[in-house]
Structures are given as C-alpha cells and as structure tokens.
Structure 1
C-alpha cells in the first residue's frame, strides 16, 4: 500500500509530542506485539535500572517506643508495597528540535534527523539488538491514540487503577532520607497501608517512578505508569495507534517476508529501514532487498603478510 501513512515518521512534524517510539527485538515485535496487536506493561521491578529494580527502603516518622516494630514493618511490608502492583511501559520521543512546521507532508528535513526518536544509536544497541548492528525494530505510535487505547482498556478491566504518564526527569539520588521515602507510621496504623500508599503515590509519583539517574538522560524516556493492578502484566490492544515501524540495518532476512505480510494485512503499514552511512542515519521508506549494505564488509580481506607488517612497524 502507498500513501503518507507508510512513511509518516519521515515527514516533518509540528510537535515533538506527536509520536512515541518503542525499541524491541525482532522476535518480540513479530511474534508477540505485531502478531497479537497488543503491548504489554511489565512490573516495575523487571526493568534494568538498579534504582528501580532493587529493593527500596522506606522510613517512618514515629515515636521512639515504636521504633523496632515500625522499622520491621517498613522494611518487610511497606517498602515492597511502595512498588507493589506497579507496571510501566517505556518509550523515547522526538527532541523538541525535531519539530518544524508548517511543511509539505512529504518534505523530510534531514537537518532534523538526529532529533528524531528512531535515530538513537544507543537505543538500537541496547534495546533492539541481539547481534550485529541493530537487527531489531522501532515501533512508532501516535501518542494520543495509544494513551486512549490504554485508558479505555483500564476503564474496562481495572477501574481502580492509577494511571500516570510523562517524561523522565534525570537527577542523581541523595544518600539520606527524602520525602518520597518517608511515611507517617501512625497514619498507616490508623488508615491502613493500602490507603496511605495510594495517598503517597498521588503526592510523590514523579519522584518515585519518573526520576532516573543522569546517566540515562540521553534516552529521552517517556513512560506510561499504572498502579493498583494485581495482575503480573497488563496487555492491551493498541488498535490504530501504530503509525510506522522501522527495522535496523541488520534486520534478519528470514523475517522480512513475514513482517511485511503481517503489517500490510493487519494495519496497512509498510516497514521502512534505517541504515548508517559513515555514522549518519539514512532512513529508507522500505526494507531494501538482500545484498544492500550500508557499510563495507572487510572481514574477508587478507591481512598484510608478516614481512610487510614488519617493514611498516620499523618505518
């Protein structure tokens, strides 16, 4: 199928908030996400950030006589409950510099290419590679349509769920107690842990779940966050929110035919491909045929003979 929607991520954009980009491996995208038309939110403890995945230690404001009882309760019960039934889904976004408008719908500006969410070398390497140079997929979603799909799913299946969204703030944590880790122990005893946790999340959700160390800042992460849902995962249909998908330069040739058939049949979207020419991102509006290389393979070339190498080293 032809038409602007096929290469929508290659157009100029008027707002950097329009798209959300999700990097993943080829098998995950094809066998699960694209085949089912769903995305899965994972437990907060399943991420790769040590701050988020490791145990948190919440402290209590209390009378000295309750110190030991409260300490054990906060460590063994309250601290795990703070993460508790939380799920997240992570994306990256276009940088504000990527937005140029108004513009012709098919007039792509290569001056903004480095600001686009599908041109992040570290994201390709970390989240969309198994071997080689980026053999996975970057899924491109319409942000507002994807949020609507998730909210609709939650209202139908988990009406008491707490939903938050937003960009990640990057700052390094301090080594002493901060408000997001301090509880009124008497309030817990009076109202119950579940009620106090809900209050605490409403007051401190940004500090707790939308703040990461500065070492992560180049990811420009945006996330959906859901709490107060007891299932291990939240799987929801993304419906018409998927607008484009980009495969990496080493996307497996054995998967090309299946990917194209799956996407065109289900959503009318033709996959495109991103190559790197001397380190510069080169997006193509389709997956190029076998044999095309964006770099020169020198692995088969013979090494210099020993005598030549010795002469070169002695010069």
Structure 2
C-alpha cells in the first residue's frame, strides 16, 4: 500500500507549487511575439508603470545618462497564500483586463539563460518598503557615477514602495550601452501559457486558443473563477490547481 507521501507525489503536477515558477503577464499580441521569437524584451525604466521609477528625482546629468542604460524584465513569484497566476489585479494591469496571457517559466532555467549574458547583470526579488523615496543622490569625488550606481544597485533597482507589494516582483536587470532593443532568449524555460478570458463560453472555440495552439509547444491552461472558487485547468483536461493536501499555496 502506498504511503501518504507517495500518494501526494502521484497527485502533484508541473503547476503544483515548487518554488521554481516565475510568471510574466502581458498582452495577447506581445505573448505571440514572445513565443514566436522565444525571447523576452528588456524594458526601459522610463516606461515603467511605477512613477517612482519612471520619474526619478536625480540632480546630476551624468547620473541620468548612466541610469538610462539600465533595463529590466519583470516577473511575479508565488508567495504565501497566493499563487503568481491568481493575482487578479495583474491580469487587469498587464494582461488586457483578462484578455491577455500569463507566461509560466522555469525559474532555474531562466536564470541559467540570463547568467549566460556577458553584460552587467543582476537578478532577484523586489524588496518593498514603507518609506520609499525616488530621490537619488551621488557623491562628488574620485568614485565615478557608474561605479556608485553599481554599488547601490540593490537599493536603486530592487527596492520599491509597499504600494506595489501585491505584484511580488522578481526582476532581471542589465546595463546596456546599445540604444536598440535588448532581449533574453529563454529557450526551453517556458513551461506553460495561461489564458483567462472569463466571459468566453467555450475556450477551445476562441481564436486566441486556436492561435496559441499553433505557436506554442507547451500546455495551454485556463485560469478562471466560478462562484468565488479559483481554478487552473488544462483546457479540455484536468484541474491542476488547487490540489488540497498537496499545494500549500492555497488561498489563506
């Protein structure tokens, strides 16, 4: 007779919490570009939704020019009591009010790909603090502005106001001298594509699902709510989440 732990192992699936998922919310059109090219675009900080990052208070022209060389890609992590794909506000903010896509990545594989880039790079989770300020001050003297920014990298690029804590952000950061687009090739790090579209009666018959089936070689999943209950299913298949007794990251 199988032990309790063996039974749990048999029930668990690739979307059960394992500490190794990163989620990227985006529009449907952007998702198609990402999947077709197998690469993610690093974004400029001037285009961030957080005005504390897009409109920094900097009083040094050299520092402004140097800061503009930094770019990032943002992801969402799982956190206690909340899976990364079930944050409804992120579906609204970044995924076309539920009409977009949430891409699921293998965290360790994505980091491995990222560490292969030869330029300056940092990665990690964002720390949210109550008394956050977007003002940056630099020292006069023998230490160059670019070295000061690198030394203060964690405080500058990996700290945000608690106003944004619900995003549970995990960030990849680079410094790039080129003015054109920078990309991260993710190769086999993509493990699933999640769509929401809660108003669709038949997901399988939608143009979005049919299009994704043609371009994506990973499972396409459906996140939805029904009478207050949230579920994640393989479209036309099994329920992957929640799994009571297996997935510790259920609603608190």
Is residue 71–residue 176 contact of structure 2 (8 Å, CA) maintained in 1?
A: no
The reply to whether residue 170 of structure 1 matches residue 128 of structure 2 is yes
Counterparts of 1:139-150 in structure 2 under 5 Å? 139-150=103-114
Q: In 1, distance between residues paired with 2:167 and 2:185?
A: 25
Q: Tell me the equivalent position of 2:178.
A: 230
Q: Secondary structure at the match of 2:121?
A: strand
Instruction: Give the drift of 1:36.
Output: 1.1
Q: Tell me the equivalent position of 1:25.
A: 27
Structure 2: runs of 5+ lacking an equivalent? 1-9, 238-252
Q: Decide which structure has the larger Cα Rg and report it.
A: 1
Instruction: Give the drift of 1:173.
Output: 4.3
Runs of 4+, deviation exceeding 6 Å: none
Q: Tell me the equivalent position of 2:234.
A: 285
Q: In 2, distance between residues paired with 1:171 and 1:233?
A: 31
Is residue 52–residue 133 contact of structure 2 (8 Å, CA) maintained in 1?
A: no
Deviation string 1:188-240 (CA, Å, 9 cap, x unpaired) is 6xxxxxxx133212321111111111110111111001114323421132100
Q: Give the aligned length.
A: 221
For the aligned residues, what is the CA RMSD? 2.3
The TM-score with structure 2 as length reference comes to: 0.79
Q: In 2, distance between residues paired with 1:275 and 1:125?
A: 13
Instruction: Give the drift of 1:149.
Output: 1.5
The structure that is helix-richer by fraction is: 1
Q: Tell me the equivalent position of 1:125.
A: 92
The TM-score with structure 1 as length reference comes to: 0.64
Structure 1: runs of 5+ lacking an equivalent? 59-73, 98-113, 156-160, 189-195, 289-315
Is residue 8–residue 244 contact of structure 1 (8 Å, CA) maintained in 2?
A: no
Q: In 2, distance between residues paired with 1:123 and 1:260?
A: 24
Q: In 2, distance between residues paired with 1:201 and 1:244?
A: 36
